[in-house]
Structure 1
């Protein structure tokens, strides 16, 4: 039987501030049947039987269902009293709306005040992980929800590792915070902490408050405790203030301020120590970083990144979220860009903060680049690339220069689905005005004009084949390039932004041996290469193998060129092989054409049992890196060692010096409601002495600890320890790359 009454039924406030739980930890709850809900302002009652008494009382019994616009109540018995304007229910009561589910012994609803009360309840949140019990739950349309003598946990009912027990929890409508009174925190059944009062956010909006602390230790700074404090200043401004205490160094304050407007975004990071007790003079130390990206108009954009630190050892001693121990330069760049259909302009100021005893780097103050497409036809394009740069150096005695470069280019492109051809001819004109050229072989005024011709073509052939019993498509993609660049002596030009580039397979067809424009090598060469792929019907790439080499038709006369006394470049090869669904391999190598020795190589082999279990071994080799031979081998692994337990490790060893360069191991316990990470690492400090020379023999080791209760502001996953801790981990093969 069904009866309609025009009453309003209030329902629970959203607990939406907690983090989402892992899906496997949530117990499925039937969603509300929307068709069973009532229209706005109505209550719909269904029951096996109903008894009416003088049109004042209505008694319902047997599978009673009471529905309003947003929620349902199920019970064995219910009564509506029109005199007292109350609805009561009893017997296996189940209340459910879109946010929570409640089981109760009895229920009382005041139809005039829209207040509902349930006693001896058990509840579970539906949009996030959370459950518990309450002696009494009171719901009110205007006052919100109050839970008395309540417990809360994000753990499943059969494994309640932790819980909060409180005398009262209140959640008010349109309030950003809920309040908890007389809270006791339990681990298992043991009380470990008490708070007479605290508040917590009840919406998904950002709220000011304490974030999870970070605790770790190191030989460099001792025991470190960081307590981030989040300040939600405005919807588009916020700050994170992090006091840090280190037993061996003292107190540090770290600040991050972020801003967002309709067209601009950026951040200011500042770290400061008034006194470092581990330095001889108790020196103050600091680091700051400014970043900004913005759109001034539809076509004009601005970007900035500015970094500065107090001393060379700041990152080594105190760590950094933005740089690591191997970095030698901190960027200082401000750029203004214009972007349109046929004109691109970029004006930038580029400077560097040099870390340690490294050659002083030239800064470009400013550097302006302009690309203009004069004409674009179906088969013929004409464009101009130009640059203007002013190079300065902090060391006053070094040469300085103004450089103007103009390069008009005429190109003839031709594309089809199976082939590509490109013919280009360019004029490269560069003018220099150089200062401080005394006692050098540099000229004050230099003008250099070169001609360049490039012919490039590639084709793609396919055939059906089988590979270990699989039907695949094999491609054969030969490519060839002829490149000619005229010669002019460039010994009278300084090196301002020029370094030699490494030639991997893609670099063979780059046509450049140097970054920058200070050296443009003369070329008369042919580059040949071939790539073959194995692709399945779904488009997944099972294997990619490339091989290429440059053949020199004449000797090079630019002295800085790497090519000397040889008519061929090193043979470059690359291999990405998805051997099976679990085994993948990668190889990148350059082999000298003169002595057939490997000049550079990187090789890795990975076995992946599933997403959480893998092991990767690798080796990297460089025959000559600034006069030093590099040969390092390492292993990276991640493995589930028991239920909810994950182990990760990383170890690299220098084979020439017969010593470790990096060691890392970590364990993580990850349950439905809490997680624990313990990591240990040891690495070379790379610390600088007073002269800026870097130590290559000192080690630093430390331990890190991270503990989180899920549902209390942070979740976790088993892969996070691998992704966050093993920052050097990469898959050796990426599908379709």
Structure 2
């Protein structure tokens, strides 16, 4: 029997699904699908009797309603054997409270056919299913409304919150938000309709789970539909929050290491902690293990720990070319680097932890490329904690722990411990020891006004206890007490003056630990007096300028004269642990002339001011008799310029007037632009310490979505390039690819790195962009 029901082609009527069920015979209406909260709109609706089928044509819209905030599905139970036949409004009319509903799922198509007996919905033409976080489009498909499953031809799934885009010839909906895809591909960025993906993972089979993974088998990574890489299996983050899974690999080719492959694996431990594993295969060396653990509790409590280990096949005495070409000196085959930092507030205490342990000095310059190399590590930790590690050429790797507590009255207690990882491979003896460890050091400091003297003078103090330990060589305990009084002197309204004076007593309990020089000495003491003062004046003047948005240039001039006197009556030799033990007598007058410049103006209707530059000059005259022939101290000149808020230039020089001339030069330059260009230069020259080196880097955005980078570190005195890196990156809105070349003595490494949106950038701090 065929009963057509034709609706007006001009006006589209809302036809509740439940009404169609109500008109059917009882045996046909008794289906297992809960259709009470599905509503159907269409231009034309037809009901067939055999088999019981509802056909909708033209602008078909099917919406599923669900209770809001846990409201019951119906305030009145359904009759036995069939769904409730009344509309929501009829419930209110009968005196029952109406249920609050929201649209959970929307289905659109040109034509829909619903089998009322089996609960199967067949859709054709411009099919769209909106399930909130997911959108599915297809040419045609079938849906089991009871099981919430379906099958779709030439379909696409877009997971909106991560812009995940899945497409396949056949997509099976296996659950509420889970899918199985055959002969498809995935891309993790937004695409316009009909747009060819800039990159994609094509796979023979994909399983997409909600709260889980997108597991791809027989996968090829493609750029503009061109296969580039193949993997038998790959796991991508498809969850609507971060999750455990593989990150995108990187590849390298090195003269020394051979082919290299790094395949990071991210583990989501908790919302505030994660772990990333960095297995890295180097054909000529073996498998390097790497890991990075991170946690964030709040802005003041966070930590990061990284470690790498390699049983190095190249670190063998038989590898003569390896040692000669690279100028290496290490003999160990177990290579590692463990580093980490943590900032933690514990009650009233502020704590800091720094770890830096390496197997050898060569490791830090050998393994400098990749996501766990020295440069990337330094940049990552500096960005997160505001402090990095000692330079990779420094043999002393510092491991420290400190805890600080302050009180309102002006006192503070600092507890510290430091362990030095000396990786110089030098053989130390009791008479030629390495640097001492401090286990521990306690410093109690404070500054309080002396109220009974009218509030002018301040009493300050530093009291320190340190225990120094060495495996070989002199150790001991040191007690250092330094009380001081500081006060200002009102000479005139135009002169500023202050004086600081005090005494300092340093006592030692000595443990010779085999050192021949200290075998007959158990204690030592040093007493000194210290006095310093300064008289200066400050002059200021504003000048009208036209410098961009600035209209005022302020110039501050501060000339000053200072005096420093340190007297040490008994100058017996002391154990040498740090700079405190190396204090010398001083009796000198210094003359200085400081200039500071700042700009002020209006920007976007708001006043602003910023530093523009400075110029400082200082020189002393030594009054001690033994310096009568060379009384002038080196002239110190410092100047800095900030032409823009994104540019910093600084130059420092020291000039000796008795033969050495300008023996120290230091140049620092940094510049960056709003679009992302960066430039930095660091030049150091110190003739007295035999230092002459330059380090520079450049990153510049080019036309056609290209960016180029160059960095150089060179020892000029030795005429040797320590490291040279060239990078070229092609940047797209949701992906980039970078080719880099790294050159070090005896090795040339090429690396290709892909950066994909939403892949390889798990949530957390220190995440780089494309």
TM-score greater than 0.5 by the shorter chain: yes
Q: How does 1:340-351 map to 2 (within 5 A)?
A: 340-341=407-408, 342-351=410-419
Return closer, same or farther for 1:172/1:44 CA change in 2, 3 Å cut-off: same
Equivalenced residue count is 645
1:404 to 477, 480, 494: 480
Aligned to 1:202: 238
The answer to whether the 8 Å contact 1:399/1:494 transfers is no
Return closer, same or farther for 1:137/1:314 CA change in 2, 3 Å cut-off: closer
The separation in 2 between residues aligned to 1:551 and 1:438, in whole angstroms, is 41
The separation in 2 between residues aligned to 1:265 and 1:221, in whole angstroms, is 32
State the Cα deviation string for residues 595-629 of structure 1 (Å, max 9, x = none).
7954433446788787355666x573524242x26
The separation in 2 between residues aligned to 1:497 and 1:150, in whole angstroms, is 67
State the Cα deviation string for residues 684-736 of structure 1 (Å, max 9, x = none).
xxxxxxxxxxxxxxx233213133262572379xxx99999xxxxxxxxxxxx
The separation in 2 between residues aligned to 1:682 and 1:72, in whole angstroms, is 58
The separation in 1 between residues aligned to 2:290 and 2:547, in whole angstroms, is 57
Return closer, same or farther for 1:566/1:154 CA change in 2, 3 Å cut-off: same
Q: CA deviation at 1:329?
A: 0.6
1:550 aligns with 2:618: yes
Aligned to 2:759: 713
Q: CA deviation at 1:431?
A: 2.0
1:586 aligns with 2:649: yes
Aligned to 1:332: 399
Return closer, same or farther for 1:388/1:129 CA change in 2, 3 Å cut-off: same
Q: CA deviation at 1:330?
A: 0.9
Task: Classify the secondary structure of the residue corresponding to 1:313.
Answer: helix
Aligned to 1:536: 601
The separation in 1 between residues aligned to 2:218 and 2:304, in whole angstroms, is 41
The separation in 1 between residues aligned to 2:569 and 2:240, in whole angstroms, is 65
Q: CA deviation at 1:53?
A: 6.2
Aligned to 1:171: 208
1:363 aligns with 2:421: no
The answer to whether the 8 Å contact 1:244/1:251 transfers is yes
Aligned to 1:428: 503
Aligned to 1:733: none
Task: Classify the secondary structure of the residue corresponding to 1:578.
Answer: coil
The separation in 2 between residues aligned to 1:471 and 1:301, in whole angstroms, is 41
1:121 aligns with 2:155: yes
The separation in 1 between residues aligned to 2:173 and 2:746, in whole angstroms, is 57
State the Cα deviation string for residues 135-158 of structure 1 (Å, max 9, x = none).
344446557333344332357554
The separation in 1 between residues aligned to 2:494 and 2:120, in whole angstroms, is 81
Aligned to 1:727: none
The separation in 1 between residues aligned to 2:685 and 2:228, in whole angstroms, is 55
Aligned to 2:305: 267
* RMSD, aligned α-carbons: 5.0
Return closer, same or farther for 1:183/1:53 CA change in 2, 3 Å cut-off: same
1:284 aligns with 2:348: no
The answer to whether the 8 Å contact 2:651/2:668 transfers is no
The separation in 2 between residues aligned to 1:260 and 1:523, in whole angstroms, is 50
Higher helix share: 2
Return closer, same or farther for 1:45/1:154 CA change in 2, 3 Å cut-off: same
State the Cα deviation string for residues 358-383 of structure 1 (Å, max 9, x = none).
97223323211112355598876544
**Structure 1 residues 654-663 or 471-480, which shifts more?**
654-663
Aligned to 1:702: 748
Q: CA deviation at 1:574?
A: 1.8
Return closer, same or farther for 1:534/1:85 CA change in 2, 3 Å cut-off: same
Return closer, same or farther for 1:121/1:681 CA change in 2, 3 Å cut-off: closer
Task: Classify the secondary structure of the residue corresponding to 2:394.
Answer: coil
Return closer, same or farther for 1:676/1:62 CA change in 2, 3 Å cut-off: same
Q: How does 1:222-261 map to 2 (within 5 A)?
A: 222-231=258-267, 239-256=275-292
Task: Classify the secondary structure of the residue corresponding to 1:592.
Answer: strand
The answer to whether the 8 Å contact 1:179/1:198 transfers is yes
Q: How does 1:685-696 map to 2 (within 5 A)?
A: none
Return closer, same or farther for 1:564/1:363 CA change in 2, 3 Å cut-off: farther
State the Cα deviation string for residues 386-441 of structure 1 (Å, max 9, x = none).
11123344442x57552322324445699xxx999784534232222264597599
Q: CA deviation at 1:649?
A: 1.7
1:492 aligns with 2:561: no
Q: How does 1:290-689 map to 2 (within 5 A)?
A: 291=340, 293=342, 297-318=346-367, 321=374, 325-341=392-408, 342-356=410-424, 360-374=434-448, 381-396=458-473, 398=474, 400=476, 402-410=478-486, 423=498, 425-433=500-508, 435=510, 444-455=523-534, 461=540, 463-467=542-546, 471-479=550-558, 480=560, 482-489=562-569, 491-494=571-574, 496-498=576-578, 518-519=583-584, 521-538=586-603, 544-550=612-618, 552=620, 555=623, 565-567=630-632, 569-578=634-643, 584=647, 586-592=649-655, 594=657, 598-603=662-667, 611-613=675-677, 618=681, 620-626=683-689, 628=690, 630=692, 636-641=697-702, 643-651=704-712, 660=721, 662-672=723-733, 674-683=735-744
Return closer, same or farther for 1:103/1:640 CA change in 2, 3 Å cut-off: same
State the Cα deviation string for residues 174-198 of structure 1 (Å, max 9, x = none).
x423444565655655667776765
Q: How does 1:34-53 map to 2 (within 5 A)?
A: 42-43=37-38, 45=40, 49=43, 51=45
The separation in 1 between residues aligned to 2:626 and 2:435, in whole angstroms, is 23
The answer to whether the 8 Å contact 1:474/1:535 transfers is yes
Return closer, same or farther for 1:333/1:196 CA change in 2, 3 Å cut-off: closer
Q: CA deviation at 1:667?
A: 1.9
Return closer, same or farther for 1:400/1:519 CA change in 2, 3 Å cut-off: farther
Q: CA deviation at 1:666?
A: 1.8
Q: Using CA pairs under 8 Å that are at least 6 residues apart, name the structure with larger relative contact order, 1 or 2.
A: 1
Return closer, same or farther for 1:351/1:221 CA change in 2, 3 Å cut-off: same
State the Cα deviation string for residues 541-587 of structure 1 (Å, max 9, x = none).
6762222233546525899xxx99344652422222326x99x5613
The answer to whether the 8 Å contact 2:154/2:170 transfers is yes
The separation in 2 between residues aligned to 1:721 and 1:81, in whole angstroms, is 51
State the Cα deviation string for residues 79-135 of structure 1 (Å, max 9, x = none).
677676565554433333443433333454444444455433244443334435333
1:105 aligns with 2:105: no
Q: CA deviation at 1:532?
A: 1.2
The separation in 2 between residues aligned to 1:159 and 1:413, in whole angstroms, is 77
Aligned to 2:8: none
**Structure 1 residues 233-242 or 478-487, which shifts more?**
233-242
The separation in 1 between residues aligned to 2:489 and 2:284, in whole angstroms, is 64
Normalised by the size of structure 1, how large is the TM-score?
Answer: 0.71
